[in-house]
Amino acid sequence: MLNKNAAKKIISAFLSLMTIAVMTAGCQKSNEEQNNEELLIGFSQIGSESAWRIGNTKDIEEQAQNYGVDLMLENANQKQENQIAAIRRFIAYKVDVIAFSPIVEDGWDNVLTEAKDAGIPVILVDRDISTDKEDLTTCLIGADFYKEGVMAGEYLIRKADALGLDHVNIVEITGTENSTPMRQRQAGFADAIANDDRMTILESIDGDFLTSRGAECMRYLLETYGDDIDVVYSHNDEMTLGALPEIEKAGFAPGKDIIIISIDGGQEAIDVLKEGKINCVVECTPKLGKELMETAIKLKAGEQVDPLIHPIEQVFSDEMNPEDIAPRGY
């Protein structure tokens, strides 16, 4: 039989072993995290112009943490030159992967050639670039903006049918000139309504994805076209939310006198859809962080990646019960 002291020692040794086991389990990292400790991504974000953008930044930060990836994040405050400077800093810092959301499509050849010469792979997040040069970037992770425009146009055709309209005058408030979502949301919408004789686009005007510009554009459009306006097609929620009070001030009821179509699907716009002042919001998800981390991990490992990754998106509208829409998270 063991004496008391020996028994105590055995128990205390056992307890220490248990503590170590529990501590290691507590500190244990997932395989994903262990493998990614050395991965450093430099990410240049456009700015903070919208709920979409803020949600996108937050998602990328959260996913970097989830995957145990180090992130150098720079906010360019809506200026291309700030993005170019950030990319140059990432190159000097020798990050493993550069990621960025180009504010506009043109003007990236020089800095991306520098990244290529430094052997650093580049991932486009959200928006595309336009270039004649090959292999400046590895892939694009972002929404299918053309399809979003098509979905907006198709909704309008269904709405015009349902209301029995025989003529439909549209004003379009577009996103930042020369940006991918602006170009493609415009083209998709125009193509979707092209064969419908009822549809006329009275004017397309640049609202730069900003609430303040959305309001200014709407004031101008109301002064110019007054009650000829049947539809506002706006390329993002912020511009829509800026335009709505102007419509009300001019004595019209948005959602009833004027059909309102928006893109993004942030919570604030969905709440206004529920109030009946917006008729349709095409979803554009900002949650691109998971794909970004997984793609960067593959690039670091020298693996092939998909050249184009589009998330799946849907349409929220007065054709459905808006109470069924789950909280959006941005």
Residue appearing with tokens 């809506």: 78
- Residue pair 325/316 in contact by the 8 Å Cβ criterion: yes
From CA 207, how far away is CA 236, in angstroms rounded?
A: 9
DSSP letters for 187-223: HHHHHHHTT-TTEEEEEEEE-TT-HHHHHHHHHHHHH
**Residue 122 pairs with which residues in a beta bridge?**
98
Size of the site for ligand GYE (CB under 6 A): 14
From CA 213, how far away is CA 93, in angstroms rounded?
A: 37
Q: Does 284 bind ligand GYE (CB under 6 A)?
A: yes
- Of the two residues 138 and 236, which places its CB atom closer to ligand GYE in the complex? 236
Select from 39, 86, 98, 127 the one that contacts ligand GYE (CB under 6 A).
Answer: 127
Indicate the burial class of 64 (C-beta count within 10 angstroms; 0-12, 13-18, 19 or more).
Answer: buried
What is the helix (H) or strand (E) element at residue 275, kind and residue range?
helix 267-275
Q: Does 181 bind ligand GYE (CB under 6 A)?
A: yes
Q: Does 53 bind ligand GYE (CB under 6 A)?
A: yes
- Of the two residues 67 and 145, which places its CB atom closer to ligand GYE in the complex? 145
Q: Which stretch binds ligand GYE (CB under 6 A): 44-52, 85-93, 191-199, 200-208?
A: 44-52
Sign of the torsion formed by the C-alpha atoms of 45, 47, 48 and 52: negative
- Residue pair 138/305 in contact by the 8 Å Cβ criterion: yes
Q: Does 242 bind ligand GYE (CB under 6 A)?
A: no
Cα 209 vs. chain centroid, distance in angstroms?
12
Q: Does 148 bind ligand GYE (CB under 6 A)?
A: no
- Of the two residues 149 and 181, which places its CB atom closer to ligand GYE in the complex? 181
**What is the radius of gyration, based on Cα positions, of the chain?**
25
CB of 165 to ligand GYE, least distance (A): 27
CB of 270 to ligand GYE, least distance (A): 14
CB of 324 to ligand GYE, least distance (A): 23
- Of the two residues 45 and 295, which places its CB atom closer to ligand GYE in the complex? 45
Residues within window 63-122 making contact with ligand GYE, judged by CB under 6 A: none
- Of the two residues 68 and 207, which places its CB atom closer to ligand GYE in the complex? 207
Q: Which stretch binds ligand GYE (CB under 6 A): 45-53, 242-250, 288-296, 317-325?
A: 45-53
- Of the two residues 59 and 126, which places its CB atom closer to ligand GYE in the complex? 126
From CA 56, how far away is CA 200, in angstroms rounded?
A: 34
Q: Does 236 bind ligand GYE (CB under 6 A)?
A: yes
CB of 41 to ligand GYE, least distance (A): 19
- Of the two residues 128 and 230, which places its CB atom closer to ligand GYE in the complex? 128
Q: Which stretch binds ligand GYE (CB under 6 A): 18-26, 49-57, 149-157, 225-233?
A: 49-57
- Of the two residues 36 and 240, which places its CB atom closer to ligand GYE in the complex? 240
Residue appearing with tokens 């800026």: 242
From CA 192, how far away is CA 214, in angstroms rounded?
A: 23
From CA 34, how far away is CA 32, in angstroms rounded?
A: 6
Select from 44, 45, 50, 57 the one that contacts ligand GYE (CB under 6 A).
Answer: 50
What is the helix (H) or strand (E) element at residue 273, kind and residue range?
helix 267-275
CB of 73 to ligand GYE, least distance (A): 17
Indicate the burial class of 30 (C-beta count within 10 angstroms; 0-12, 13-18, 19 or more).
Answer: exposed
Q: What are the residues binding ligand GYE (CB under 6 A)?
A: 49-50, 52-53, 126-127, 143, 181, 209, 236, 238, 263-264, 284
